[in-house]
Structure 1
Amino acid sequence: MVSSSKPADEAEMKKALATGAVKEAPLSAIPPITCYCFASILMTIINKFVVSGANFSMNFLLLCIQSIVCVSCVAIVKKAKIISFRAFDIQDAKAWFPISFMLVLVIYTGSKSLQFLTIPVYTIFKNLTIILIAYGEVIWFGGKVTSLTFISFIFMVISSVIAAWSDVSGALGDSMPTGSTSISTTSLQAVKGVVSNLNIGYFWMLFNCLASATYVLSMRKRIKVTGFSDWDSMFYSNLLSIPVLAVFSIIVEDWGSENLARNFPPETRHVLLSAIAFSGAAAVGISYTTAWCVRTTSSTTYSMVGALNKLPVAASGMLFFGDAVTFGSVSAIGVGFFAGILYAVAKNNQKIAQARAQGDTIIPLVNRQ
């Protein structure tokens, strides 16, 4: 009886894995997490380089070109029979269009945030998205926020406050004249301009956090409904975003010759266009690894992995874009990283507790009557 039950137990385990009753081994999450980290860091650096020009204002055109290059790359790779995904279907397109529209909001607000904020501030404030996603999972997917997880959220908020304080004080200090005790009209105008730019940057950052949380949660729910694979999700997301981005670019942005010359100066035009094309190819990686990471782990873990990128991403900002290295910025990064480690420990403890509870309720087949 025992020997005949062993194959039945194995069949039951395979069935549980197929239906999602038992999660894959934690090691299976390492490849998607690693790939997502590399792709997100690369995309942040490239987008910051493109939008950091003093006169750049055509964000919709930038994102439209990226999506076109991304879809073209995927189509070429599919034609070479390296990858495979479902053919375009109008019903699938209708079902996926809201997700694609949310993606447009995420990448546009992200590019606008990077235009006005430094990379360290941008990455630290992305932590707030984690909190929104975590409580969204509680509402939509029956998730749970433990005490340790809540404590990690508190540290995330503290790191964001420190980053904002350091950013504002540093920007105001740089705008004030040195060697003079008098305050001139010019200095007041400079301070006003700095405050205005910061307000705009933090507005786009708030919008980006809300849009990112909605996008990740909605995509996870829609993937379950449509049965999309990772490549399906990536293909439809970018393909359906092209007309939206093109329409917004034509309506909102200035396509006059003077504005085009300001956005793409002749001396740097080839470099900018090459960077945009490369970022479009890199978007294949970020789109695919996003869907891969969300499906393999969870939407909260996916967002947390992105938050843990703050150290290398912040270092890249200080190295390539001259972002200030101050006590406040370093403290904010350190607190944010500690919050990420604390959150990872909390999620790991939560998974162990769930596995034990699930194991206690399973009756082996050999013991069943």
Structure 2
Amino acid sequence: MDDKKNEDFNIKMPEFNSGRSSPSSKEPFLARSPRHNSAGPPAMSSITNSPPISILAYCLASISMTVTNKYCVSGANWNLNFFYLAIQSLVCIIAIIICKQVGMITNLAPFDAKKAKTWFPISLLLVGMIYTSTKALQFLSVPVYTIFKNLTIIVIAYGEVLWFGGSVTASALFSFGLMVLSSVVAAWADIQHALYGSAAKSVEAAEAISTLNAGYMWMGMNVFCTAAYVLSMRKVIKKMNFKDWDTMFYNNLLTIPVLFLCSFIFENWSSKNIALNFPEESRNKLISGFIYSGLATIFISYCSAWCIRVTSSTTYSMVGALNKLPIAVSGLIFFAAPVTFGSVSAIIIGFVSGIVYAWAKVRQSQMNKMSLPTSQPVMSASSQSNRDASSS
């Protein structure tokens, strides 16, 4: 699920260096070198400030998180997504408190009500992101879900152009075209399999198409919710002076009451529905999945914030695109997603689009380093106001 609960979820946002005058000055991909001091030993500092290591950790975390989320919401009668996400956050908070008490976490700041109030709107965006993510994952296969997540990169990239004065190169535009193509091919393959992949072609086909349509609707909502969360977080994070653990702690803590409240209001808590959602034959496995997903949230949350802190929000999204291949393969292995020419082609195109995008960002970074500034760069109004605010 990107984000707090998945690749793209997940309770994740950056800690920007206070020495930078504008978020728009952050270089994409791996070109950025850490500039902040670390109180830890040199070896540990080199790890915590290493973009490649942070990206690898994020990829491993997102794969395990996506597989776990898909398993937990794949029940035939499952309809308690808000409750599932609330349990994730609750388990995560309990684990964080325990780790702090035993001394494993030493840099978690005390709870600040004023900061919580400022951060609360970001938490609401996070709720929208993770809920639409689980709903999309519930109706779509893992490969199709991961392919469509590529579209988030496009929305975030153009959001950065509007908000932070960024730019989109011709190579990046080409990669965006491949991302859209992979999504179209994936949808086409899914629809073809639903219509002609089974012997029964009437009731079952109509039901399968209805499920896909619901999945595409939730996926579209998730793309825009994720972009809104990432971009809004980037605008707010500088004012908060949050460390990685602070980001994760406030994201989980503030979403708990919202998620439980939404569950009690919008979800069916009758004994019959509870029995349908937690069938006796798989109840223990499902509860174990809940607990594991909550603990895994710590890993994905920290790695997400870590990755964005030492790279950028666009790089974070791009890495998610590159990570789609192993995630998609895991869906084929663990959940028996249909393997067709169209589905495999969509996965390959989506993976290639991520590589092209990565190459485009590295090339742009290298060209920026080689060129000398001859004039004051043109900035968007929002980027200029952000710079003025940070320098005042």
Report the Cα offset of residue 175 of structure 1. Answer: 4.7
Letter in 1 for 2:185: I
Q: Is the 8 A contact 1:112 1:201 kept in 2?
A: yes
| Identical columns (%) | 53
Aligned equivalent of 2:123: 100
Give 1:270-285 correspondences, 5 Å limit: 270-285=284-299
How many residue pairs end up in the alignment? 336
CA distance in 2 between partners of 1:140 and 1:292 (Å): 22
Larger deviation, residues 17-26 vs 99-108: 17-26
Residue deviations 1:221-266 (CA, integer Å, cap 9, x gap): 2111211111111000000000000000000001111100000011
Aligned equivalent of 2:305: 291
Residue deviations 1:22-49 (CA, integer Å, cap 9, x gap): 9416982112111111111111000001
Q: Is the 8 A contact 1:175 1:194 kept in 2?
A: no
1:131 aligns with 2:140: no
Q: Is the 8 A contact 1:58 1:249 kept in 2?
A: yes
CA distance in 2 between partners of 1:144 and 1:175 (Å): 46
Q: Is the 8 A contact 1:109 1:205 kept in 2?
A: yes
Aligned equivalent of 1:45: 67
1:66 aligns with 2:88: yes
Aligned equivalent of 2:262: 248
Aligned equivalent of 2:39: none
Residue deviations 1:262-298 (CA, integer Å, cap 9, x gap): 0001121111001110000000111111111112111
Letter in 1 for 2:69: N
1:56 aligns with 2:78: yes
Residue deviations 1:172-215 (CA, integer Å, cap 9, x gap): 113552xxxxxxxxx53333212211110000000110111111
**Unpaired runs of 5+ in structure 1?**
1-16, 178-186, 362-369
Give 1:59-208 correspondences, 5 Å limit: 59-83=81-105, 84-177=107-200, 187-208=201-222
Q: Is the 8 A contact 2:142 2:327 kept in 1?
A: yes
Aligned equivalent of 2:33: 24
Q: Report the secondary structure of 1:323's partner residue.
A: coil
Q: Report the secondary structure of 1:86's partner residue.
A: coil
Report the Cα offset of residue 325 of structure 1. Answer: 1.1
Letter in 1 for 2:53: P
Structure possessing the higher radius of gyration over alpha carbons? 1
Letter in 2 for 1:82: M
Larger deviation, residues 233-242 vs 282-291: 282-291
CA distance in 2 between partners of 1:104 and 1:61 (Å): 12
CA distance in 2 between partners of 1:236 and 1:43 (Å): 20
CA distance in 2 between partners of 1:242 and 1:46 (Å): 20
Letter in 2 for 1:126: K
Q: Report the secondary structure of 2:338's partner residue.
A: coil
Q: Is the 8 A contact 1:106 1:215 kept in 2?
A: yes
CA distance in 1 between partners of 2:364 and 2:66 (Å): 31
Report the Cα offset of residue 356 of structure 1. Answer: 2.1
Residue deviations 1:297-346 (CA, integer Å, cap 9, x gap): 11111011111111111111111110111110111111111111110110
CA distance in 2 between partners of 1:55 and 1:18 (Å): 49
Q: Is the 8 A contact 2:18 2:238 kept in 1?
A: no
Aligned equivalent of 1:214: 228
Aligned equivalent of 1:226: 240
CA distance in 1 between partners of 2:90 and 2:72 (Å): 17
CA distance in 2 between partners of 1:354 and 1:100 (Å): 35
CA distance in 2 between partners of 1:218 and 1:293 (Å): 17
CA distance in 2 between partners of 1:175 and 1:108 (Å): 31
Q: Is the 8 A contact 1:220 1:294 kept in 2?
A: no
Letter in 2 for 1:278: Y
Aligned equivalent of 1:337: 351
Q: Is the 8 A contact 1:220 1:295 kept in 2?
A: no
Report the Cα offset of residue 357 of structure 1. Answer: 2.8
Larger deviation, residues 83-92 vs 228-237: 83-92
**Unpaired runs of 5+ in structure 2?**
1-16, 27-31, 35-45, 376-392
- TM-score by length of structure 1 reads 0.87
